[in-house]
Structure formats: C-alpha cells, structure tokens
Structure 1
Amino acid sequence: MPEPVKKAVSAFAKKPKTQEAEEGSCVVFEAETEKNDAKVKWQCNSKDIASGDKYVITADGKKHSLAIKAITKEDANVYTVIAGSSKVKFDLKVVLKPAEAPVDAPGETGVEPELAPAAAPTEDQTAAPTHDAPPAEEGQPPDTRQDLTGLFTEKPQSGEVTVGENITFVAKVNAESLLKKPTIKWFKGKWMDLASKSGKHLQLKETYDRSSKVYTFEMQIIAAKPNFAGAYRCEVTSRDKFDSCNFELAVHEACATEGFDIRTAFRRTSTDGKEDSGELDFSTLLKKRAVQVSSEPDLDVWNVLSHAPSSEYEKIAFQHGITDLRGMLKRLKKMKKEEKKSAAFLKKMDPAYQVTKGQKIKLAVEVANPDVEVKWLKNGQAIQPTGRYIFESVGNMRYITINHCSLADDAAYCCVVGEEKCTTELFVKEPPIMIVKNLEDQMVMKGERVELECEVSEEGANVKWEKDGVELTRDESFKYRFKKDGCKHVLIINEATKEDCGHYKVKTNGGESMAELLVQEKDLEVYQSIADLTVKAKDQAVFKCEVSDEKVKGTWYKNGVEVKSDARINITHIGRIHKLTIDEVKPEDEGDYTFVPDGHAFNLSAKLNFLEVKIDYVPRQDPPKIHLDCMGRTAESTIVVVAGNKLRLDVPSLETLHQQ
C-alpha cells in the first residue's frame, strides 16, 4: 500500500475579513487554522509584522489574531496572513474621525497649539496645516507612533486638479539622526513604481538643505489626465527604518466659463440713479449662472436618432443614457413628419423635446381663438393642475410647465382643442453618470482570479468595458463576467493568463477610467521529488512526485521519449500528486525517467535500476562418507555397537592430517 500523502500547507478553517475602523480606534483580525499550533505569519504590504507597541500578535491553539492599535490613515493597507503555503489577503479601511465639539470649545487654549505646529515646518505652507493640526488635537498616541516609525517630517497630502493643470506633492525627511541617505519611492495603486514612468507628464525631484539637513522630495504631475486620478503611496527607507504615506489625487473635468463676466453680474441696484449706491444684486448673479449652465451645447437626442443609421443606435443610447431604446424608436416612428394645416392651432409644439432630470420644461402652443379652453393629456390621460404641473393662458398662447422633471414625466403630451390635437414627445435625460471610484492597476499570478472594480454616481447605470480599445462582451466560454452591486461595477476574470495582460477601461456616458493588468508566471514549488529505484524482475516500480499547484499537468519521459499508458504502465494525476506505475518490471524498463510539468522550465529526474538475481546450478552429489580404520575386524570396515551404549568418534582436523 502506498504511504498516505501528508499535507504540505495548513488550510484556514476561518479567514480574516476586510474591516473598516475609525482613526484612533483599535481593530482585531482573527484567523483559525485546521491544525493546532500551526506556524502563522502576518504581513503588511508583503512585509512581515512583528509584535510590539503598534501590533499585538497572539496564538492559542488553532486561533490566531492580529490587533492594530491607535489606527491612523497610514494603516489603510493590504494585510496578509500566511500558514505554510496558504495565503489570505484582506484590507483595513480607515474612516476619518468626525469633528468633535470640544475642539472649538477651548478657544484661548486651542489657538496656539494649532498655530505652533503649522509654523514649524516653514517652507511648504499648503500641506503643513492640514497635516500637523490633527496630532495637536489627538494628543500623545499619534506622537508616540511617529517617534517609533516616522521618518517624514512632512507627508504628501491628497489633492485635486483640473484636467490639463499641474499639481505637486511634497514629502520632507529630516536626516539629522540618519546614518544613511534616505531613499524614496512613489507608487500608484498597490504596486506600480512611478520611477519608470517619469517623463512628459511626471517629474520626480530631490533637494537637500545642508543647514537644516532636510531632504525634500517632489512628485510633479504635469498636464493631468483623467486616468491620473486614484490612490498613491510614498515610501521612504533608511537602513532599518521605514515609513509610508497614502494619499489620493482627484482629477476634475474642465468647466467652460467663456462668455460669463462675473464683474457684470455684481451690479448694484439703486433708486437714486447713482451707480455706486444700492445693494449687490445677487439674484441677477444667480440668474446669469442658471442661463450659463443651460446654454451649454446639448444635442437633441430625437434629432440625433432621426438622422443616424441603425448601426449607431446602441452607441447613441449609451451616450445619452437611453435605457429603453426600442420604446424610444417606436415613439420616434409615430411622429408626424408632415403636419397638416390646422384651424384650431396657429402654431403647434415641436414633434419632440428633451429635458434633464430635475430641471423644468415649458411647452407652448398658439391657438387661433384666444377665448378657447384647452385640455392637456399625458399618455392619453388628463393632467390635473398641481404643484408640478402649471397651466397658463396668455392671449393666444397656452402653456404647460413641468417642474422637477423625473423619469415618470418621460411620455407623450397632447394639447386638445375641440376635435383637434397637437402632440409631442418628451424625453427626460438623466445627468451624465460619473465614475466616483477609479479602477486600480493590478498584478496577479497566472491562474489567479482578477476583479477590476469601479464605482459610479448612480445605481443601475449602464457601463462598457474595453480591453486595449476592444469592447468586452459575454461569450460562451464565460471568460469575462460582469457584476453589478448598486453603484459598484466589477469585471471578473476567473483564471488569468498571459493573454489577459493589457489596459482595461470602463466607460460611462460621463467619464471613463483605465487600469493596467499584469499577469506573471506562477512559480511552481516541488514538495516531493521522484527518487531512484532498484527493482527486481516482476516487482512493481512507482515514481511519485508532488508539486504546489494541483491544476498543473505534466508529461513523463523515459530516456527522452514520452511514456504512454498501456497494460503494464499506468499514469495518474490526483490533486498535486503525479504517479508513474510500472507493473512486472522487465530488464528493458531500466533507464532514466523524467517528469516535466507543463508551462514550467524545469523537470524532475530519477533512474530505474533493474536488479538481476543469478542462481548458480550445482549438480547433485552423494553425501560424504567416513572411512574408519577398524583394525580389519570386518570386511566392510564397520563398527558394531551394542544397542543402548554410547559411540564416540574422534575425527582429526585437516591441519592435523597435513602435519601427519
């Protein structure tokens, strides 16, 4: 019977999950292994964690825990728990501590402590107040943490920038107590080192002030693009000291302000005719702003659809947020392209209108009789005047105003005069869907699951996914899966391959986000290699090996020639174990055997030695006889002994005979 296979790794019976904690609080991650007293290692950003003042690591039988004290925003990282070759990753999300009332209460005592730290860092006054004020309010614990692990005297702060503009992030390190020059690295996302991206849009600078012994590191982003937005990280090291800081960059679209003069908006209203007197007319300013917003170019979706080929319908629907394209086309088809002259209406409504959700729209018709009464219908039903629907009659003009338009107002409207009707279609356009959380670059091992996640501004929004500019769709192989969870949209790749490397983009009708995916070959570990065998004829030979990936297949070779299964040879692959079994071994089975795992540049080799048992043939001979000298008493030289008596024979040794 073959020996039972021992597990090479300890599986987790309970895995730690991602948690969210508030600044200054404590959080505990718990894990449970299947075996008692299993060796467990905790890591933060792939670096081992040691138990101390900041981290408390405990182990009790199968239960293991990691406690993180006095949480700060720098603790928002990726953590890992490792048992054998089994790894579980989880995140810690840090929520900013809400402002407390006692902060404003001290008054006379609260002003100076805030100003003092702000004035100390000198040179950069933009980041210092926001960075240094909280430690003064939070007290001793943050200061202790910075003394233990802090190298930064000034950390880069999160910032915002408009597309096309520049922004600079600054980090400062005091090298007075350091024996070696500090080295700094800038990252985007979890792993992308920006040192290799330096060029037209990114500049990394370093300066040193000999008098203050302070190093200043700058990362300048030039002519920012929308895909520059996301999470960044700055790391500084000096021998055994290490510090890191996370920050974010938000990139906003440029706003069109041409044609709007704010100075003319602030005109004064007066009753005495003097230009300098009176009060500032803020209502006029608001009116001008409203006009400016509504005057931005807004394509009429009805006109776009009516002039577009059918092949462009899907694209237009995505750009304008049309969820029911089929219904929209039916309504478009019903519109009368040629209108007949009417005796009741001097001027009819346009065939179709559109309005943005939340805004108002005013529909107007001109009737021939100024005294006639009209009736307004919505999808054939009479509309009653309410706070949202307002009817007006001014001379020959008849108006209906719809306030705070919602998707329920997307319908056909009709004005009826006697037997005649004037009909129009209203399309309520939703605001552009914006991407509020961008995709992040990822690097995974071959065969691992990939989840590219973004978050949009509205639930149920339509998004498009692209890889290297080609739109991704569900196919029969289910290689790509798309998941929606409220405002979250996820692209899932179950088993990543080298072909999945590339740039992935998610698009909405209001923005887009792009991330890069890198897939690396997975290093295959050998838990048990094949061993040399020496086997006798008709015995069984078993070559067995165990590798780290149970999905890896392989091929067996004998003296460089592939081995095929037959009546005597059996090849099996169960989990991580690969076996080659040879029954009733023959002399010709002797040779070098090799196992080559698919997709990996190495092999496992062993030799089969055939043991031949040789048996020499000895012919049968008569048993030896003893010739005795009996004084010649009998002819046959025999000794006669009386029954019951003893017989003693003295036989001399060979040496005695030779001596004689």
Structure 2
Amino acid sequence: MDLASKSGKHLQLKEHYDRNTKVYTFEMHIIAAKANFAGAYRCEVSSRDKFDSCNFDLAVHEARTTDGFDIRTAFRHAGEDSGELDFSALLKKSTEPEVDVWEILQKSSPSEYEKIAFQYGITDLRGIFIFILTTAILRKLDPAYQVEKGHKIKLQIEVANPDAEVKWLKHGQEIHLTGRYIFESVGNKRFLTINNCTLADDAAYTCMIGEEKTVTELFVKEPPVLIVRNLEDQMVMKGERVEFECEVSEEGAQVKWEKDGVELTRDESFKYRFKKDGCKHVLIINDVTKEDCGHYRVKTNGGQSLAELMVQGKYLNLETTDVFRSYCEVAFLFIFRIHKLTIDDVKPDDEGDYTFVPEGYAFNLSAKLNFLDPPKIHLDCMGRTAECTILVVAGNKLRLDVPITGDPAPTVVWTKGEKVLTDSDGRVHVESTKGHCIFTIEGAERQDEGVYSVIVRNPAGEDTADINVKVVDVPDPPEAPRILSVGEDSCIVQWDPPLFDGGQPVIGYVLERKKKKSYRWMRLNFDPYKETTYETKRMIEGVAYEMRVYAVNAIGMSRPSAASQPFVPVAPTSEPTGLCVDDISDTTISLKWRAPERIGSAELEGYGVEYCKEGSDEWIPAFKGLTDRTSVIIRDLPTGEKMQFRVRAYNMAGPSPPATLQQAVTIREIMQRPKIWVPRNLRQTLIKKVGETINLVIPFQGKPRPQVNWTKTDEPLDPKQVSIRNSNTDTILFIRRSERKDSGKYDVQVQIENVEDRASVNIQIVDLPGPPQNLKAIDVWGFNVALEWKPPKDNGNCDITGYTIQKADKKTMEWYIVFEQYRRTNCVVSDLIMGNEYVFRVYAMNMVGLSPEPCLSKDSAYIQKTGIVYKPPSYKERDFSEVPKFTHPLMSRSVIAGYNATLSCSVRGIPKPKITWYKNKMDITNEAKYRMFSNQGVLTLEIRKPCPFDGGVYMCKAINSSGEDVVECKLEVRRKYMPLTQELLRDLLNS
C-alpha cells in the first residue's frame, strides 16, 4: 500500500537535499503510534531506469505509566535552617471527578456536542460521532491492505462489547478456521491472520457483528520476476529449428514473448511453441523462414531481454562446362552437404589430377583421372611466365608429376636454384616411375615458392625443364577496426587492409559483431564487402558492442582481427532550450540557455556556440572547443552589425540540432537611466556595535555603467577606514572594524552624463555607556536608605534603558543586586540589617549592556541598633553545597498548533545550578522560538506558537559544581480543530 495517500495527522513524509554533499534525505514521521501501525515497511527510490529499495519492520509497544509526583511534598522543608524552599503556597491542589464523556454526549442534544467536546478537550469531533452512531465496532478496518506474496497479514478491529461474536467473510462467503486462516480474540480486539498469502487471497474481506459490518480490500503483490540469463542472438539456415532460451528468478513465473513489438501466441499451425522447465522458458520456432527474421523479446514484471534472429537462405547447385586443363578453381557455396564434380563427355584432354580445396580449411582432397590411351609426354607449364605458374595453397601438398620418355630409362635430378633436392630434406619426396618423375612437398609453405628445375639424363643426352611454383595463402588478419561515429541504432566502422594479402588480391571483407557481455559473434554480411568503411545498423541503444573483421581472398578467409574498442550506440541530444540574450554592449553580447530536454544514455560533453552576419551562411565558432556552462560572453563583435547566433549540444554521437534566436540581434548597447534600489533593511537607521563589520550592498541599474560616488555629510570618505567596491550592478561600502566616529549619514550617487540618482543610509555605532555620576545617600531611617545619582556623561550613542543598583556590607564587601533595569535616578533600599554599615554602587545600562565601571557612593550608610544589644552565637561553618535534583519532573503534554505552550519543572541545588534546555538532544538555549524562565527554582520553557514540527522529546539538564541531573518529557502538537457547523454536522451524520 502506498503511504503517500495516508499522509496527514498520524503520518508525515519529509525530504531534504544537501547541496554540499548532494545527498537526498527522506524521513517518515509517525505521530501517536498505534498498535495497527506495526508491520513490514519498504522504502522505494527510482531515477530514470534505475531502482532500489530497502525493507524494515516496525513494532509498537504499549507506553509505560509513571506514578504521580507531589510537588508540594518535594518543596516542603523540615526546619528553619535546612536550606530548602517551600513553594506550597504557590501551588493549588485541584481535583476533578472522573466523568464518562460518552455518556454525557449520548444524553445531550446534538446542538450541545461542540460545547461539551471543547469543555473536556476533545478536538477531533469525527471520533465522537463515530462512537455515538456505531457503538458495536469502535475501530473499523482500514480501507485497504497490501501484502507481498508468501508473507503474513493481520486484520484487526476493536469492538465495544468484549463478549461480542464476530464473523469474517471473504467475497461474501464465511471464512472457516484452517491452517492458513487464524481467528484471535484479545479483550475488545479481534484479529484475522492469513499465513502464506497467495494470489487467491486478493479479495474483499468483511467483518460483521450483528447487522454492523466493516469492509476492506486486500491486495497481494507479486515480487518482481528478474531475468537471470538473457536471450542470445542467432543466425540459422532456412527450414531449421530455432530455440530462444532464458532463465528467470522464480519458478512458475508468467512471461510474455514478443516479435518486433507484437505478442506471440500459440496458433493452430504450431509455428510457435512455448516450453517451461522450472526457471527456464523456451520459445521454439519450427521450420524458420525469411519472415521469421526480426527482434524477439521476452518480458516479465521485473525486466526484459532482447535478441535478433537472422535466417540464411539455401544455395543452388553450381555447374560449369569450362574447365582448364591443368588448374581449375570451382567455388561451391553450400554448407554441410555432399559436393560432386561431374565431367560429361570425357576426352583425353581431361586426364590429370583433380584437387578439392574447401574454403577456409587447411586440408584438401585430390584425385587423379587416367585416360586409358598410349602414353605421351605432356608438360604444358614450362617457363617462368605468369601463364605457366603453378599455384598451390599453403598447407596443401605440392606434387609435380612430369611425364618422361627415354630408352634407356633416364635419371632425374630436381634442383631449386643451385640446391639439389633429395628425400633427405624432410618434407621433400622424389620418386621416379615408368614414364614419370614425381616431385612432392608435404604441407607447402611460403618459402617453398620459386623456380624448380628438372634435369633428365641418359647416355644419349639430357633435357631440362623449369617449373614456376607460387604458394598462395589466406591473408593476414586486419588490424583492430576503429569506430568513427555512432548513432541511435547504428555506427560507422573503419579498418586498414591486411599487411599481407596471401599472394592473392583481397576481394573483400566479412564483419561480425557481438554484445560485450555475450560470447556469440553474429555475422553482418555473407558476401565479401569490398570497401574498408562499413555502416552497421539495427543495434540497441545503450548496449555495449564490439566489432571484428575478416579479410577474404580467392583462397579463403583470414583469421579474425582483434576486437574493436567497446562502443555504445547513442543518439545526439535534442537541441538546447531557452536560448536568449542576457546582456549586450557595443562590442560584446551575453547569451544564456538551458540544457536539452533529452540527453540520452551518453553523457553531455559540452556546448558549441557559433555566430554569423545576417544573410551569410558562414558560421564562425565563438571559442575553441566546448564549454560546460549554459552561458557565454562573446567579445570583439562589430558594432552596429546584425548577427545571428546558434548553440548546439555535443555528446559522443555528435552535435545536436542547433538552437537559434528568433531574429537577428543588433550589436549596440541599450541605454538605461540610473536608478538606486535601496534594500528594505537600509531604509531605517542601521545600528551596529563598536568593532563589528559593516558591509552595505546597494544595487543599482543603468547603462552604460554609471559612475558611483560616496560621501558622508557632504565630505569624501577616508579610504584608510572605509573601502568602496563597485560593479556593473551594485556598489559595496565595507568597514572592517567600526568606530563611534563612523556614525552618520552616508550618501551614494550614481550618474550617467547629466542624469543622476541619489540615496542615503543612516548608520549608528553604539557602545557601552559610561558610569553614572555623583551617587550619594541622601537619607537613612530605620532599615531604609534613600539613594540618588545623575545619568552618565556618555550614553554610548544610544538611550539609557535602566540602572543596576547593588549593596555590600562593609565587613564582607560581598555585592548583592538590589534592583535591575531600574529606570529612575533615585531609589530606596529597604530591609537592611541593623548594626551593619553599607556601601552602594550603580551601573548604567543601554542596548549594548552594562557600563564597564560602576559609580560608588562616597559615604556609607550605618543602620542604628535599637534596644538590647544582641550578641549572635558563633556557628561553625557548614557546607551547604547540594547536587542538583529535580523535585518535580517534566510532564508529557499534547497541545494544539498555533497556541503558546509551556513545559514546567522544579529543581533544587546549591550553588544555583546552570539550566540548559534540549529538544531531541539538540541545544535550544539560543533559539528565538523558545523562552526560558526561572523563578525561585521553578523552571519554565515557553514555546511560541508551536507547529507539528515542534513535537518531540524535550529535556532539561541542571549542572553545578557538585553534579548534574536530567529530566525529559514528550510533546505532541495537534492540528487546530475545525469548528463544528450545521453543514459539517449534517455531512458527518450522512457519512
């Protein structure tokens, strides 16, 4: 179930983005958790084609209750000298009788519901009417539940009568107790537990008590089925059987097969058959034809895989009638079949050796045709001309069979150059028979190429013949191909011819490609391709590919070249958007734009900016290379010319379509009157303390750039004290350490020729005041002293806000505060101790603080003793220090948003402890939203107009030299209730 629709009173979803770390933070806040909130939760994040999720479980426990605490008992002291405080007089005991609000509402008229609810602190009136109108079921089922297949789900309701019998139904049919369905009854709660949920459990469930019922809907979510092993591209012969096989992550999963975007079904002709074996799924195509070529795709609810099928047609038999006498090359393009050479109407000229050389294989088959006729000597390939050259394929057997005659039988010698060839040379065999001499080389190699001479001798004489032999081979493999450019589903590849063509000219090339993560190469052409640049198509955007090339000559096909660098087919981006002129002058222009709407799978490399004169087609680059920014300033443009500008985005696929301005731009600066825009905070007097930094930023407008001038009371500024920095759009006045003399009125003037504008800023530098003057005691009577003084000469450049009066006994000279922030210049100090002599001092106070030095009274005041002289007993000094202890803790509260709330507690400790307030363990002492009070040990935290965000755990910590103590509570902030009107009451009753 998606929780976004449930956001409200009890659930809040928040997100935060940190620009420094570029990290998104997502938070889910559950307010006033309930038992039905427990269960399994999942957080899902997705971006374009990426997805991730994490699971967690939430358990809800009942809150612990704490016994009440009597603050009066904690503050009541046991004796006069115990040092404890008694605040019982400040507290009033209030007891309220426990009442049943529901009984009062049931007996009252509907017009009094709102009044009674407000009296007893009930803000959610909807709960009142639900309780009154439906007394049998206190809490109904949620509108919907969601559970993953194979997991457990628990449905819960609360009933008014703990002994009530409930009935559970599924699609209107009563559910009976089984191993998967479990009924539970705990107090006034009723549970239905469904174990090992299946798709059959996806239904509507009803719980009935008599005539009342509550309905919910359960959705069973299947886990995503992933493709573990992808489909492979295939190339087959026409009429063969094809099997596309993939493997998924779950047995019994449903998959869908498509061909070129059209779903495949099991038709009557059984053209397509679908097979399942555990996690394996197979698509079988019988007797494939050319129409079956295309892209086949398998889809699940968690992924998909794509493969291509290519079908090659059969070739016909090849017949030839022109056969050369001593050498014939016949190419049969037929795969895995019987090959025959038929010679019709055999003649004596057909006698000779026949050799079958399969293309691309390093072996051959030879046969000799003998014509039964009187022998003759025939040697047609004598000499060194090209026509008389004997070709032999490398690796094949070279056999020179020379017919000879002579009586007596002649002796035969074979030579190559000056070297005589004999059987001792390993691969060379020399043999003489009746009427023939045979020269054989097993496994011809390139170094066997040359002119061979045969010498025949007998006593009557000798004869010599030369035979030119040329060894041919398949060419060397080309170098690794280079990828020149890529497109959305294509690329252009280029390669160099092989260094050695094998002795025969290269007639073409064969190309293959494969996906980088696959092991299967797919051939792109079957006929040799004569060029060295090829454009391959029908690729999938975003998938990495590799290419390799074979060289082909008359002998066969070379070994494959090394694979090219992996590449990814991508399309150029769309054109940049929002191209506009940001600023313009006589020779420069500033342009800005936004990134393209579609970038694709490849990263954006940058932008190129070009310009040309209106009516011209010669576009000139504005700068070398590319820029990553979306704004640029073009300089040195001709003044007064109309220019056109365009911007193109580049990625590895090339430039995008250009973004151009709607019309040509005239290079001429636009005039603008000078105008000063004084910020709102500077329209009043700016008050700063001595030593603080002053930084005034005054924005203005005007073209061309105006001249700026600052003055203070019509005099120029001191450059040693004040720094001025100007730009095209603002001026800055900067004082690093302000002084009293910096106070005054500052005037700024911007001027363009005879047009100007002025503005003023008032600055007031304040400091601590001086001490008051002439403090004296003007009268002493009883236990009272009347004091009088005069204001200080130096008020710190601001008004005096009050005085602080202190007293000290002349014996101890320990000062105690009598009055703080006292506004008059005379006062009466009371409650002095008789027999003591007192001195007084006064501090002046302004908005900065107290004066550094006080004003001391010149004479002291002696309080006369009356009656019998009292001799105080001598007491031993006692250590009154005490560890801080909270005598009354903080109480958890629930308040309404928008109204000030307070949290109170009391603490004791000697010396007086230092108090610190925390919210969620964060110090809030300096937060303006909170105010802290302390009155005779009673601590109060005031939260001004709280909002739901201010809810949390608040903690108060007290620390002194003897130790520390901590107390905490929870604060819940509820939203404002909606006033009950007749229309709202009518809608609630109807629902």
TM-score range relative to shorter protein: under 0.3
Higher-Rg structure is 2
What TM-score, normalized by structure 2, do the two folds share?
A: 0.19
What TM-score, normalized by structure 1, do the two folds share?
A: 0.27
